[in-house]
Amino acid sequence: MTAPFGTRLRQAMDKRGPLCVGIDPHAALLEAWGLGDDVAGLERFARTVVEALAGEVAVLKPQSAFFERFGSKGIAVLERAVADARSAGALVLMDAKRGDIGSTMAAYADAFLAPTSPLFSDAVTVSPYLGFGSLRPAVDAARASGSGIFALALTSNPEGGTVQLARGADGLTVAQSVLRQLAAENADAHPMGSFGAVVGATLRDIDAELDINGPLLAPGVGAQGATPADLPAVFGAAAANVLPSVSRDVLKHGPSVAALREASARFVDEVRRAIG
């Protein structure tokens, strides 16, 4: 890779549209597709989503947990999905939400951000709740390999506010502190930094500065109740860097490849109309 993740993401969003589609093969979706809740069903599901969307959407986001639950065979399916999706032109955001300290965080970074890893992805979700400084191995690995991270900041689950809206001695909420530190990592990046935040599209009256000169992954569009039309009100001036994330409202149209493509294209059109 010759360009940082933020640059490649901006190009992909401009060309293919600002949309991230999850690869979330949970048991209910496997059943809805007429597949078994086993490795064979997992592989068929993942391969179908990649076939349908890797050449169409900007970002595919496999949820690691749904593959991990099948052990080493599930991880092998994940490795192939990552490689095939990237080969077809999609950026891959690994939804792993890893967070730890020291050598353990460095090992997580090696797993997802080292080019020699079979799980090497364009970006990975991380948890900053052992302190933003604990993410330094992932930040450094991402910078070295041209990949990126998305740190949890203001998530769409109702329990998140207990931690994310707590205030420190400086008066800042935890979420605002995370956003400020991401902005510092993105300083002087153009057209967009590689260090993003996760901010739920279902949130209202956000008391935080969202302009971090980096991408904002916005879960909650579709099944959780947010719509593309809500994005300008939630994200304001930062809406141009928003990457809405949709899973069930696209995946429910499988296993038809054509139907999956049509559903994702509808979301892209709606997001483009909403945020320009």
| DSSP strand pairing (123-126 vs 91-98) | parallel
Element containing residue 261 per DSSP (H, E): helix 257-275
DSSP state of 110: H
20 contacts 60 by C-beta, under 8 angstroms: yes
Region of residue 17 (left: phi > 0; alpha: psi -120 to 50; beta: else): left
Partners of 152 in beta bridges: 198
Query: Would you name the residues annotated as active-site residues?
Result: 97
Q: What is the DSSP string of 84-101?
A: HHHHTT-EEEEEEEE---
Residues near 92 by beta carbon (within 8 Å), at least 6 away in sequence: 59, 60, 61, 62, 82, 85, 86, 121, 122, 123
Three-point CA angle 138, 121, 203, nearest 5° = 75
Burial status of residue 210 (CB atoms within 10 A of its CB: 0-12, 13-18, 19 or more):
buried
